[in-house]
Amino acid sequence: MANLSAWTGLGVNMLTVFSTLMAKLSRRFNMHLTARPRAKRNPDDIDALVLAGLRESAIALSAYQIVDRLCASGNRLTATQAYRTLGRLISQRKVRRIETLSAYVAIDGDFDVVLVCNCCGTLRPLTEPVLKRQIAGLAQAHRFAIDRIALEIVGSCPQCAQSAMA
């Protein structure tokens, strides 16, 4: 503190000294000391990246797995961006959340039931309109308004069941 008071006693404003020094350094090293705004990516571009990442995967991926895979391939993405993007893709019916796994899968069509192998993680979507109508009728009989139906059957696929028996 004694040193600072000595400089202050000489009438030197430390802020002025610091600013002058930083200006000289920036000119000398051709540095820009102001923050550059980051170029924002178009949401459609991020949607395409996430969708491609899900389509490349043989299993459903969590949001953090999506982020890790995209970052490993050189595409920077945060968890917040991933969740926001997944929400958009779900509303566009391009992605579906697998509740049992807390993971997401790209879909090419609509399905009513998904079989989830708890050994290898493979998914088998099925269309069962009769079952869907029965569930809607059951809900209606109890005056229950359905927001969405998530039918997931968890077990072992034929390959995993066979290898478990061997």
Global pTM?
0.70
The per-residue pLDDT for range 146-161, each reduced to its tens digit, is: 988 889 999 999 999 9
* Ramachandran assignment for 6, one of left (phi > 0), alpha (psi -120 to 50 degrees), beta (any other): alpha
Phi, psi of 11 (to 5 degrees): 80, 20
Handedness of CA 62, 64, 65, 66 (dihedral sign): positive
In whole numbers, what is the pLDDT of the chain averaged over residues?
Answer: 84
> What domains are defined for the chain?
1-36 (no CATH), 40-109 (1.10.10.10), 110-166 (3.30.1490.190)
